[in-house]
Structure 1
Amino acid sequence: MLQQELEFRGIKREHLGMYFEELGGKQITEQFPYIYKSDYWYGEILREEELSITSTFKVNSVHIRFHAKDDMTLKELIKNYRVKTRRIGG
Structure 2
Amino acid sequence: FVPFAERVQELINLDEVHANVLEFKDDKLTGKVLGGIVDAEQKAVVLESLQQKLGLEKTQTVAIGDGANDLKMMAQAGLG
- Return the TM-score normalized by structure 2: 0.29
Tell me: higher relative CO, structure 1 or 2? Use CA pairs within 8 A at least 6 residues apart: 1
Question: Which structure features the higher share of helix residues?
Answer: 2
- Return the TM-score normalized by structure 1: 0.27
